[in-house]
Structure 1
C-alpha cells in the first residue's frame, strides 16, 4: 500500500484519487491510466476495503475508485464507511464491477457511492467517470440509472402498502423528480415540461438541497423508496 501526503486543493490542483482493487494487475493499470492525466493524480492505492478506509482517512482524496468483491471488508462495506449516511466527512466513491454483478452495484449505490463503471470500460470512460464524480455529479447515465434502480424497486420501497410519507417538495419539483427517476436527462425534462435546461438545473438543485441528497443517483433511489414512481 502506498500513499501520497494530503495537499490543499486549489482551483488548478489536480483531482486526487485513491485506487482500491485486490487484483494487482488491475490496480496497477488503473494507477497508470490515472497518473498519466495532467488533471488527475493518484494519492494512494490499496488492495482491500479496510485499507481503503484507512488510506482515505489519511490522504483525504477527492475520489476513491473502489472495487466491489475483495477479501475482508468488501467495496460495499468500505463505501458505506466512506460515503454512507451519517459519515461526517464523506468521500466521493466510484465503484467498479462486472456486467453480471449489477445487484452489487445497487448495494454500493445504497451505501453512498456516486456511480459505477464496468471493469471492461475503456480508459476514457474511466477518466470521465472520475472527473464527473469529483464535481459532485452522478456518473450514471439517466437510462442506466432507471434500469438499475428499477430492477430492484421492490427492495428499495419500504414494506407495507400504507401512504407514502410527506415529501417536502412543490408540485413542480415532484414532477421533475419523477421524470429524473423515469430516466430523463435535463434536456428531455425541459422538452417535456416546456421549460429551459437552466430552469431544470435549478429545479434539480432545489430538489437535492431540500431532500439532503448528493446527486441524481440518490434522487432516483429516494423516488423509488417513497413510492413516487413505479
Structure 2
C-alpha cells in the first residue's frame, strides 16, 4: 500500500487481463534491452575488425576508440549486469531480496538513462568527424551502433518514466518492483475478483 493509503495500480490490476499484458510487456522490454546491448557489442567488434583490415600504412596514428565510444560500450556492459538482475526478479519474484524494491530499480534505471543519454549524444556528435574513414565499412558499422543505441535509449525511456510516474504517484518506493506494472503472468495467474484471485493463488501454491 502506498504512503497515501491507496494501493498501487498493480494491486488493482492483479486480476485483470490488462495487468497481465502490462507485466509481460515490461518483461519483453527489459529482455530487448539485454539484446540491444548484445548487438552493440557485436557491431563494435565487427567495426574494429573492419577498421584493422582496411587500415592503410599512412593512417596508423588516426584515433579510432574515442572516449565517447568507449563510454557507450561500457554502458552496454553495465546494462547487461543490471538487466539480468531485474529479469531474474521479474521472473522469480523473490520477496526476500532486499534489492527487489522500486527505489533500487528506479535508481539504477535513472543512472543508466543519464549515462546512456550522455554517451549516445557524444557519439552522435563525434561520428561525423570520422571523415577520414568515410569509405570504410567500419564507419557504416558504427552508424549501426548509433541506430541501435538510440533504440535502446527509447526503450530505457519507456521503462523508466512510466514506472517513475506510477511509483511517485502512489508513494510505493519501498514495494517490490515486479508489481509496478501489474502482476507477473508467468507462474501465478489470478482470475476473477480479488477474493477469487486469493483463493486461486492458494490453490496453485498447493
TM-score (norm 2): 0.25
Point out which structure has higher relative CO (alpha carbons under 8 A, 6+ apart): 2
Higher strand share: 1
TM-score (norm 1): 0.23
Q: Which has the larger radius of gyration?
A: 2
